[in-house]
Chains A and B, each alone.
Chain A
Amino acid sequence: MVNLLERILGRSAKGSSATAKQRLQLVLVTDRSNLSPEKLQQMKDEIIGVISKYVNISPDKVAINVEQRERDNWLVADIPLLRELMQQEQGDVDDA
């Protein structure tokens, strides 16, 4: 019902204000942290390099982003470890 009315009344969820909000949230990450998208990518690559020395990870599954929580910036990393390696390690423990 609401959707129908919205369509009739011409309100669109895809107005330019949604774009404005999204663009602002992105640019403010850079403004607040002084971390440009290029520098963030460079840091990601280095972090992936360091972690790969110790555990098996798939670089394309790694997500490292700056997130805004209230007025604070958080560097949030999601780094899934590859299953094969976990099983291998399990086997190593059993052998010992």
Chain B
Amino acid sequence: MDARVITVTSGKGGVGKTTTTANLAAAFAMLGRQVCCIDADIGLRNLDLILGLESRIVYDIVDVVEGRCKPRQALIRHKYLPELYLIPAAQTRDKTSVSPTQMAQVVRELRPDFHFILIDSPAGIERGFRNAIAPADEVLIVTNPEVSAVRDADRIVGLLEADTRRLPMRLVINRVKADMVRRGEMLSADDIIDILSISLIGIIPDDENVLIAGNKGTPDPNSKAGQAFRNIARRLMGEEVPFVELEDSSNILSKIRRIFGG
């Protein structure tokens, strides 16, 4: 195996990077792929909590970098998804505890053991972001249909375009409310792609089950959001999965409107 290394980033905080990382990792695992998540948000770790692995942490990424353990010793295996592993961030250190070169080195050692390595980037465009993209083969940029999130995503696109490695990047639009888009009160996926001019990999509906899954520490693959994340995983694996238009299945009016070409 030689893992594909995918970094999940956004610029703005709170748009769903950790949710995206956790759900994609779960989807890959359920599709039978060996997957490792790395939490690069040193000082503000959360991926462990979302994956329900917070009580199993022995070593973290800073322990690996500082030589207290091997990368493989820091891997925490998921309770229910045996293909899924996590290397947690350190909680009591800061972003400068790790350098981009060190991150790349850790990931290089893990590559042979996995199909996918997902790196959960911290918010911002400083050291933590640099650390997170250093080992990447490709980048997923998460945004929301909000002006601030789209603007920050554009900043990330600009920074990655200026990077000599020319990493492929694709857009995840998270927390879309179909009824608001229909009323013209929320930027649509088309609007956002128009503005950012990068290719789309998935649209995730706003779904309260994401919060509920977080409460429990188990990603929910059967929720609407979970299914949309699985579609992203399948697209990343090269499958052609059509983009389904988001809609409330209960809303018969929207169906009538579509019949009349609206």
Contact = CB atoms under 8 A, between A and B. Distances in A.
Same complex origin of A and B: yes
A20 B257 contact: no
B154 A28 contact: yes
Interface in A26-41: 27-28, 31-32
A71 B154 CA distance: 10
Contacts of A15: 183-185
B257 A5 contact: yes
Contact of A24 (B151, B182, B198, B262): B151
Given A9-B257, A71-B161, A21 B184 contact: no
B197 A16 contact: no
Nearest to B148: A24
Nearest to A10: B183
Interface string A1-32: 11001100111111111101101110110011
A84 interface: no
B257 A70 contact: no
Interface in B170-201: 181-188, 191, 194-195, 197-198
A21 B187 contact: yes
Contacts of A31: 151, 154-155, 158
B1 interface: no
Interface size class of A (residues with CB under 8 A): 20 to 34
A24 B197 contact: no
Interface size class of B (residues with CB under 8 A): 20 to 34
A77 B9 CA distance: 37
Contacts of A27: 151
B157 to A, nearest CB: 7
A95 to B, nearest CB: 53
A82 B158 CA distance: 40
Count chain A CB atoms within 10 A of each CB in B182, B183, B198 and give the residue with the most.
B183
Contact of A17 (B151, B154, B191): B191
Count chain B CB atoms within 10 A of each CB in A13, A15, A18 and give the residue with the most.
A15
B184 A14 contact: yes
Interface in B136-179: 145, 147, 150-151, 154-155, 157-158, 161
A17 B181 contact: yes
Contacts of B187: 17, 20-21
B244 interface: no
B253 A24 contact: no
Interface of B: 145, 147, 150-151, 154-155, 157-158, 161, 181-188, 191, 194-195, 197-198, 253, 256-257, 260-262
